[in-house]
């Protein structure tokens, strides 16, 4: 439960007070440094690459101390692209930041389905240069709590930790953000109950004007609760998270733990208007074991394949495609280049092209579970005939590479259902997909389909009854209703004997 967030109470720290579109041209030499949890690619020298890897290992240690069971060390290493200067950053950063008068990025965290990238500028020396990285790394650490963690606290924690400073022996956490404070002092805050219920669909999350107060107040509320718990020796934030993890709604949990919400609002208002704020020191031996780092030089094609993959995920597909074409001319067997071309083709709606690129990547021994999954899924749902063997092999490879990836289980179950074979295994695969993503309606619909294929009609209808509780839109309700009707028709046909059921064969198709 919320022991997962035990680090929120900051129990082992001391408190201090403080007053309130560039062309993707390649460099001639890239260095790769591998540490325990990061892969650093840099166009600087080996010393800078090692220093960067060491800095990120210290960050990893700090955040895994704060959130001791949130991270998963079995995850793939995060790739850090450490560029020398602004020009190098502009060659990779999201397209939105290339517009005139946009802020200069010092750091950026890019999360994709099957990988994570961090972009940083080595010449960034301003205070909290990597605040964006720390902000997004907090979200990354909290990703397994997304199901129940309310948006205000998710964003509030990210902002609390974004102003972290880390050196060899100490981490400084929770420094105040002067801009947020000035904004809150000049504007009326949202009612606490409104703040607690804002979700990703709310205009307070998307609208620029309304969003400013949401982000500022989320930071202030989180800072206020963390500091109050520390000063008063309480654990209210921890208790609040315990209730949320048990399924309590955000407002009810707040009333149970914090009491009168009007009093909480008054306390927050007073907190924002004060002149001094607390921040935290976390003593720790943070020196990374640099001697264990693996360092090698990369070819231009190897480095550019990674850079092109970044461009594909930062909204710059044309730049990514141009760079990939250069990579493939130099190294036609570059696996990552084939995977990224497959992704670009799929995003562009070129299904045949995506199938071809992913097929090439598989032949080149791709270790990407997404490449394996898309190779199989696109083949299974194509109009032409496709052999079951390679499809099944790729789906099993995807599951082996990432046992937490629910779609691969579901897709393999549906392959068996469509071919009317291995139905017991198909049902087990359905159950695993539902276990991994209990909120995905389609997995329950497919589970009912497999049960109907097994002629377990009562069980199929029970699954659909549960599925109806998850249906949120008229389209989803209609999908469940249609499936219920099909199961009931098939059940009736089965009761009528073989002659009646002959016309119902191929139920799952």
Judge if 129 and 268 occupy the same domain: yes
In a domain, 503, yes or no: yes
Question: What sign for the dihedral angle of Cα 469, 152, 60, 240?
Answer: negative
- Identify the pLDDT of residue 370: 94
Query: How many angstroms separate the CA atoms of 311 and 340, rounded?
Result: 10
State which residues form the domain around 460: 412-509
Across the beta sheet with 276-283, the strand order is 14-19, 276-283, 170-173, 165-166
Do 73 and 184 share a structural domain? yes
| DSSP H or E stretch at residue 459 | helix 457-470
Q: Is residue 88 part of a domain?
A: yes
178 and 44 co-located in one domain = yes
Same domain, 397 and 419: no
Residue 24 pLDDT = 47
The mean pLDDT of 312-324, rounded to a whole number, is: 95
Alpha helices, DSSP H, located in 86-164:
86-90, 131-141, 151-162
Q: How confident is the model at residue 69 (pLDDT cuts 50, 70, 90)?
A: low
CATH code for the domain in which residue 449 is found: 1.25.40
Residue range 158-162: mean pLDDT, rounded: 91
pLDDT digits over 202-235, tens only? 877 655 555 588 989 999 999 999 999 999 999 9
Residues 353 and 426 placed together within one structural domain of the fold: no
Please choose, from the candidates 58, 156, 88, the residue with its C-alpha nearest in 3D space to the C-alpha of residue 105: 88
Q: Are residues 99 and 186 in the same domain?
A: yes
Query: Is the separation of the CB atoms in 348 and 317 below 8 Å?
Result: yes
Kindly report the pTM of this predicted structure.
0.78
Q: Is residue 291 part of a domain?
A: no
The answer to whether the Cα torsion of 194, 199, 200, 202 is positive or negative is negative
Number of other CB atoms surrounding residue 146 within 10 Å: 10
Question: How far apart are alpha carbons 13 and 345 in whole angstroms?
Answer: 50
Same domain, residue pair 221 and 250:
yes
296 in a structural domain: no
d(CA 432, CA 439): 13
The residue out of 404, 426, 446 marking a domain boundary is 404
What pLDDT digit, counting tens, does each position of 260-288 carry? 999 999 999 999 999 888 888 887 665 55
**Is residue 289 included in any domain, yes or no?**
no
In the predicted model, is pLDDT for residue 341 greater than 50? yes
Mean pLDDT over 82-108 rounds to: 83
The answer to whether the beta carbons of residues 413 and 429 sit under 8 Å apart is yes
Based on the fold, state whether residues 400 and 469 are members of the same structural domain. no
Q: Rounded to an integer, what distance in angstroms lies between the CA atom of residue 290 and that of residue 413?
A: 46
pLDDT-above-90 percentage for the chain: 58
Per-residue confidence band for 324, with pLDDT thresholds at 50, 70 and 90? very high
Question: What total of structural domains would you count in the chain?
Answer: 3
Assign 75 a pLDDT band (cuts: 50, 70, 90): low
> Cα 300 to chain center, whole Å?
29
Name the token pair of 342.
């497959």
> How many CB atoms neighbour CB 224 within 10 A?
20
Res 335 pLDDT > 70: yes
Look at residue 165 in the predicted model and tell me its pLDDT: 87
User: How does pLDDT run across 346-405, given as a tens digit for each residue?
Assistant: 999 999 999 999 999 999 999 999 999 999 999 988 765 567 889 999 999 999 999 999
8 Å CB contact between 305 and 324 = yes
- pLDDT confidence of residue 15: 53
The stretch 430-457 carries a mean pLDDT of 95
**Owner of token pair 């392959």:** 415
CATH number of the domain that residue 378 is part of:
1.25.40.10
The pair of structure tokens assigned to 466 is 């549960």
Over the stretch 460-502, which tens digit does the pLDDT of each residue have? 999 999 999 999 899 999 999 999 999 999 888 887 655 444 4
Q: How far is it, in rounded angstroms, from Cα 83 to Cα 119? A: 8
Percent of the chain surpassing pLDDT 70: 85
Q: Which pLDDT tens digit goes with each residue over 4-61?
A: 444 444 444 555 555 544 444 444 589 999 998 999 999 999 999 998 898 888 888 8
Q: What is the pLDDT of residue 171?
A: 86
Q: What is the pLDDT of residue 114?
A: 86
Q: 396-426 pLDDT, tens per residue?
A: 999 999 999 999 999 999 999 999 999 999 9
Q: Which residue would you say has higher pLDDT here, 56 or 338?
A: 338
Distance separating alpha carbons of residues 380 and 392, to the nearest angstrom:
9
Does a structural domain hold residue 292? no
- The per-residue pLDDT for 146 is 82
Report the CATH number that the domain containing residue 144 is assigned in CATH. Answer: 1.10.390
pLDDT on residue 307: 96
Q: What's the whole-number average pLDDT of the chain? A: 86
pLDDT (0 to 100) of residue 239: 94
């Amino acid at each position: 439960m919320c022991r997962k967030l035990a680090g929120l109470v900051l129990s082992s720290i001391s408190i201090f007070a403080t007053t309130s579109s560039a062309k993707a041209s390649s460099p001639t030499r890239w260095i790769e440094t591998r540490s325990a949890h990061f892969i650093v690619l840099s166009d600087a020298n080996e010393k800078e690459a090692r220093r960067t890897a060491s800095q990120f290992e210290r960050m990893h240690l700090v955040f895994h101390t704060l959130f001791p069971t949130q991270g998963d060390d079995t995850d793939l290493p995060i790739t850090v692209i450490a560029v020398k200067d602004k020009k190098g950053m502009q060659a990779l950063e999201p397209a939105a930041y290339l517009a005139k008068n946009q802020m200069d990025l010092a750091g950026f965290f890019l999360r994709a389905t099957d990988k994570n990238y961090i972009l940083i500028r080595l010449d960034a020396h301003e205070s909290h240069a990597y605040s964006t990285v720390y902000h997004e790394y907090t979200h990354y650490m909290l990703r397994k709590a997304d199901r129940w963690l309310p948006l205000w606290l998710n964003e509030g924690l990210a902002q609390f930790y974004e102003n972290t400073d880390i050196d060899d022996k100490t981490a400084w956490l929770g420094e105040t953000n002067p801009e947020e404070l000035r904004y809150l002092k000049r504007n009326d805050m949202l009612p606490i109950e409104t703040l607690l219920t804002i979700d990703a669909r709310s205009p307070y999350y998307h609208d620029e004007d309304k969003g400013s107060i949401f982000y500022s107040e989320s930071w202030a509320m989180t800072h206020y609760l963390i500091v109050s718990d520390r000063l008063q020796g309480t654990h209210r934030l921890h208790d609040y998270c315990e209730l949320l993890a048990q399924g309590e709604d955000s407002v009810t949990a707040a009333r149970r733990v914090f009491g009168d919400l009007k009093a909480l609002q008054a306390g927050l208002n007073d907190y924002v208007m004060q002149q001094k704020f607390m921040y935290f020191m976390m003593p720790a031996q943070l020196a990374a074991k640099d001697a264990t780092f693996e360092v090698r030089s990369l070819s231009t094609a190897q480095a550019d394949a990674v850079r092109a993959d970044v461009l594909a995920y930062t909204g710059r597909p044309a730049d990514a495609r141009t760079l990939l074409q250069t990579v493939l001319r130099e190294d036609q067997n570059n696996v990552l280049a084939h995977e990224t071309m497959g992704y670009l083709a799929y995003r562009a709606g070129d299904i045949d092209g995506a199938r071809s690129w992913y097929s090439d990547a598989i032949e080149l021994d791709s270790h990407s579970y997404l490449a394996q999954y898309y190779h199989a899924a696109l083949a299974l749902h194509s109009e032409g005939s496709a052999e079951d063997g390679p499809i099944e092999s790729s789906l099993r490879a995807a599951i082996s590479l990432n046992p937490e990836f629910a779609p691969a289980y579901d897709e393999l179950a549906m392959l068996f259902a469509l071919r009317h074979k291995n139905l017991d295994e198909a049902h087990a695969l359905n159950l695993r997909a539902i276990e991994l993503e209990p909120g995905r309606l389609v997995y329950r619909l497919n589970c009912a389909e497999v049960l109907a294929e097994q002629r377990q009609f009562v069980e199929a209808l029970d699954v659909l009854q549960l599925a109806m509780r998850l249906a949120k839109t008229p389209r989803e309700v209609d999908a469940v209703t249609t499936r219920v009707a099909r199961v009931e028709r098939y059940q009736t046909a089965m009761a009528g004997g073989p002659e009646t059921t002959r016309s119902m064969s191929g139920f799952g198709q």
